Copies of this chain bind each other. A is one copy, B any other.
């Protein structure tokens, strides 16, 4: 399947690598191709720049946000939450029309230091997922995967168990497509939370995710619904 991945950071890299391993045809999109190629700095989290990752992943094409959006039959949003809506405008919403869009971005505000809070305009009575759906009115947005570390996103068993993954979106067929991708990523306990407003709760999990990470010094965990 042709898949477009928006965002060249560690989340976009990890998702793209795994999709490629699974045999998909992947284009990764960025704001500025030459800047992305030229960047030699590690991220604030210490992960390598795109250029270094790309050396061992030359079969993943780099394009603009718009080229990647146009290329993909399915799209992954892996941009920084604060930049997501701006990236979608650059990617041109008409390029997403009728497509399934997995929104895995989080509205984390690091501007006040650690731990991050959520941007209030996208929390509690709203969510980034809902704003993404409004921006991409012709697409089928499904919020998912945002509640775990990116290595766990693409390999649920990395937690050492069988955690639950949630999804929320307005279109049943798109959620079936997402379920199939999640299964390819090793998720077997998948819970549909209903329409896209379910993104509120999924994004509001992030503060406890950060806190659990701090308490356990282990980012490779998931949430299992025990019932």
Question: In the complex the two chains form, what is the Cα distance from A161 to B216 in whole Å?
Answer: 21
Question: In the complex the two chains form, what is the Cα distance from A97 to B220 in whole Å?
Answer: 40
Question: In the complex the two chains form, what is the Cα distance from A161 to B189 in whole Å?
Answer: 15
User: A182 to nearest B CB, angstroms?
Assistant: 16
| CB–CB A215/B200 < 8 A | no
Residue from B124, B163, B214 within 8 A of A123 (CB atoms): B124
CB within 8 Å for A227 and B125 given contacts A212-B191, A215-B191: no
Q: Mark A203-227, 1 if CB is under 8 A from B, else 0.
A: 0110111111011101011111111
Question: In the complex the two chains form, what is the Cα distance from A148 to B198 in whole Å?
Answer: 18
User: A166 to nearest B CB, angstroms?
Assistant: 7
Question: In the complex the two chains form, what is the Cα distance from A212 to B118 in whole Å?
Answer: 21
| CB–CB A221/B210 < 8 A | no
At the interface, yes or no: A104 with Cβ under 8 Å from chain B?
no
Tell me the nearest residue of chain B to A159, going by C-beta: B226
Residue from B125, B192, B198, B221 within 8 A of A117 (CB atoms): B125
Which residues of the partner chain B approach A202 to less than 8 Å between Cβ atoms?
Answer: 208
Contacts A120-B124, A159-B226, A223-B224 known; list 15 others, CB within 8 Å: A123-B123, A161-B227, A191-B216, A192-B215, A193-B211, A201-B205, A201-B209, A201-B211, A201-B212, A202-B208, A204-B204, A221-B225, A221-B226, A222-B225, A222-B226
